Amino acid sequence: MTFTPYTTTPVAGRREWTALGVLLLPCLLVSMDVSVLYFAVPFLTAELEPSSVQQLWILDVYGFVLAGLLITMGALGDRIGRRKLLLSGALLFGLASAAAAYAQSAEMLIAARALLGIGGATLMPSTLALIRNLFHDAKQRGKAIAIWSTAVTGGIAVGPVLSGALLEHFWWGSVFLLNAPAMVLLLVCGPLLLPEFKNPAAGRFDLPGSLLSLLAMLPVVYGVKEIARDGLALLPVLALVAGLAAAAAFVHRQRTARHPMLDLELFRNRGFSVSVLMNLLAMFAIVGCAVFFTQYLQTVRGMSPMEAALWNLLPTLAVGGMAPAAAALAQRTDRAHVIALGCAIAAGGFVWLSWLEPGSALWFVLTASAVYASGLVVVVSLGNELALGVAPPERAGSASAVLESGTELGGALGMAILGSIGSAIYRGDIGGALPAGLPADAADAARETLAGAAAVAGALPGRTGEALLTAARTAFTHGLQTAVLVAAGVMVCAAVLALTLLRGLRGVQAQGVEGEPDVPVVDGAARGAVAAADAEVAGASAAGTPVAGTAVVQGEPS
């Protein structure tokens, strides 16, 4: 079955670029919420008194729930409309932020963060899918995705600055209220500027598949987190096995369902599957290490939240142009080499950071952070561009959901695994430095976290307190050094994978090659994969007849 391609590729105008500006708002919502708690941890620890396990869940339950629901929400957006899902998610995100701001216990905050994950799961795939539908020209789409990637990175950096300013004057819960202005702007501007996109041939929503995707993601993440922190134990191993079994059932369901949530044929394309893996590895490294970096500035170096947040912003400002530069370079050379170069730069920055000491010069810390952030921005932006470029427009919601699932899962696993490695080294080092005669509850608090040790040291007399605080800062830095070396090793492996698996994919775009326009794809129940520039669809429906599957824009064929 073949199609006649467009004679010209639709070029985005002022309305599309303005719509992109609106789409950056939910990116800021979600990315700011990833980082907004970094500087608030000591404050909420003092007030809510969470255990070390609860503190980890406060930080990472958002990412776990978000990752578990992304595929579901991506498929739902393809069916009910991506703008409708985006605006609904923004409303839920704002309400959950208010609930988190006024949480009265660690359990309440964990529950509110889980609701934020549900809201966030509706936002990210919708934004990327709408970009895929708004920008049909390959070069324009590359620029748009580079801007989107920069906005996500910028949100992660701006979040601590704004939260630091609030923590100087208000209680820790005020950091969640940062979401309100962006939510209001999105709800007001979205209906005016964003057209509605949906796939009329998507069929009924696959509720069993949705439940299986959630049952696959959450037990796997829980099992990995628990094993990384406490070693092999019966419950996390059983959870891991159950999650993998649910994942196998989910794949079987998608292969046999009449209207599947996920087009598994996407994974046959190297550009898509390897890009998802690259994003997972990059986010594993950057999110897992970001927690150490922010705590190092605030607790080891003794900075105020605002001071630490402002210094934390400098590395991001230094790499703000890396995503557009990477997109331009990928137009001129093999993108495998560019992605591998980004991985190598990130690995070098992590190795540099492994030489960090409690008394290292501030320029040393900031420069190392700028180096690894530069490399990771290159990897993530080009991965997003390539993955969306090979996805059919009417499947953009599902494709974006898979891409974001890898991204969010990588960040959550990085926070859990690298955080657990750092915590284990900290506990091992600090145990021998505790002063004799310290009450059991104080000793436990000092062993759990650096913030706990600082609080205990403040209550001890003179040199005893100073010695404990110095030992705690040294132990924390040792954990940081080990975690960034693990991240460096991960990025070296990612560079090898990029050179091996992405070579030769220069200029590959959706349903064609560089210079060819996008082609509307008939999909329906067949889940056919688009082959090359002649837009021939491999496989049709069971009856062998084509089924119209073009995207709908405000009720009209795209």
User: Residue 553 pairs with which residues in a beta bridge?
Assistant: 197, 556
- The whole-number pLDDT of residue 489 equals 94
Residue 156 has pLDDT above 70, yes or no: no
Residue 154 has pLDDT above 80, yes or no: no
464 and 470 Cβ atoms separated by less than 8 Å: no
Q: pLDDT tens digit string along 86-127?
A: 888 888 888 888 888 888 888 899 999 888 888 888 887 777
Tell me what percent of the chain is helix, strand and coil, each rounded to the nearest 5. 75, 0, 25
Best-predicted range by mean pLDDT (192-196, 368-372, 428-432): 368-372
- The whole-number pLDDT of residue 31 equals 67
Mean pLDDT of 66-89: 81
Distance (Å, whole) CA 113 – CA 41: 14
Residue 350 has pLDDT above 90, yes or no: yes
556 and 233 Cβ atoms separated by less than 8 Å: no
Mean pLDDT of the chain: 75
Please tell me what DSSP assigns to residue 507: T
Whose CA is closest to 67, among 289, 201, 224? 224
Tokens of 188: 């007001």
Whose CA is closest to 428, among 447, 456, 446? 447
Residue 352 has pLDDT above 90, yes or no: yes
> How many residues can be counted in the chain?
558
Q: pLDDT tens digit string along 292-317?
A: 777 788 778 877 767 776 777 777 67
Reported confidence tier of residue 532, pLDDT bands at 50, 70, 90:
very low
Distance (Å, whole) CA 127 – CA 103: 29
Could you identify the residue written with the tokens 């080009």? 382
Q: Which H or E element spans position 198?
A: strand 197-198
pLDDT more than 70, % of the chain: 78
Whose CA is closest to 53, among 420, 408, 413? 420
pLDDT more than 90, % of the chain: 6
Q: pLDDT tens digit string along 176-205?
A: 887 777 778 888 888 887 877 776 666 677
Please tell me what DSSP assigns to residue 553: E
414 and 288 Cβ atoms separated by less than 8 Å: yes
Pairing of the two strands 552-553 and 197-198: antiparallel
Reported confidence tier of residue 545, pLDDT bands at 50, 70, 90:
very low
- The whole-number pLDDT of residue 77 equals 79
C-alpha 292: how far from chain center: 17
Number of other CB atoms surrounding residue 54 within 10 Å? 18
Tokens of 484: 């960034």
DSSP for 360-426, please give it.
--HHHHHHHHHHHHHHHHHHHHHHHHHHHHTS-GGGHHHHHHHHHHHHHHHHHHHHHHHHHHHHHHH
Task: Between 547 and 69, name the one with better pLDDT.
Answer: 69
**Strands across the sheet with 556-557, in order?**
197-198, 552-553, 556-557
- What sign results for the dihedral spanned by CA atoms 312, 315, 317, 322? negative
Whose CA is closest to 453, among 431, 478, 437? 431
Write the burial class of residue 266 (CB in 10 Å: 0-12 exposed, 13-18 middle, 19+ buried).
buried
- The whole-number pLDDT of residue 449 equals 74
The pTM of this model reads 0.69
Residues with Cβ within 8 Å of 123's Cβ and at least 6 positions away in sequence, in order, are 26, 27, 29, 30, 86, 89, 90, 93
Of 35-49, 77-91, 99-113, 347-361, the range with the lowest mean pLDDT is: 35-49
14 and 156 Cβ atoms separated by less than 8 Å: no
